[in-house]
């Protein structure tokens, strides 16, 4: 059985980087696939990779990571302004979706500009398309 856990951005936006990452990684370590609303910062993504490395052992093998970015070219000027204003006022980046899949469950996340495919380990089934 595959468990997906959706985390609204509001759940992490008040947390410092270390706690944000711990929260997300703790869920992944329970073999649940994390679907985070929005994106982590670029420095937070590398912190996530570093934290993942320190947690790897014989049971926890790491994560598969993918971020779906909104197509900035498709946003008109007014919408882009609204998005930037919302990000500034509320903190963080609520646009897009971040997927953190434990390596024990997720074999691979394939991404290209138009679609994303998540392959699970048990039957390499397609989990979804954007």
Q: Is there binding between residue 52 and other proteins (CB under 8 A)? A: yes
Residue 103 is a binding residue for other proteins (CB under 8 A): yes
Work out how close the CB of 113 gets to other proteins at its nearest, in angstroms, rounded to a whole number.
8
Q: Tokens for 83?
A: 């998005």
Residue 16 Cβ vs other proteins, minimum distance, rounded to whole Å: 18
* Part in contact with other proteins (CB under 8 A); list of ranges 4-12, 17-25, 39-47, 82-90: 39-47
User: In angstroms, what is the minimal distance from the CB of 91 to other proteins?
Assistant: 17
Residues that bind other proteins (CB under 8 A): 42-43, 45-46, 49-50, 52-54, 56, 58, 61-67, 103, 109-113
């Amino acid at each position: 059985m595959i468990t997906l856990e959706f985390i609204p951005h509001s759940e992490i936006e008040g947390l410092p980087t270390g706690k944000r990452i711990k929260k997300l990684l703790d869920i992944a370590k329970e073999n649940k696939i994390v679907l985070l609303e929005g994106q982590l910062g670029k420095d937070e993504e590398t912190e996530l990779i570093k934290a993942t490395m320190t947690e790897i052992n014989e049971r926890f093998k790491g994560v598969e990571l993918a971020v779906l970015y909104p197509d900035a070219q498709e946003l008109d000027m007014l919408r882009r302004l609204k998005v930037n204003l919302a990000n500034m006022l509320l903190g963080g980046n609520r646009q897009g979706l971040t997927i953190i899949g434990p390596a024990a469950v997720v074999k691979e996340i394939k991404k290209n500009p138009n679609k994303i495919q998540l392959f699970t380990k048990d039957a390499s089934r397609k989990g979804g398309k954007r």
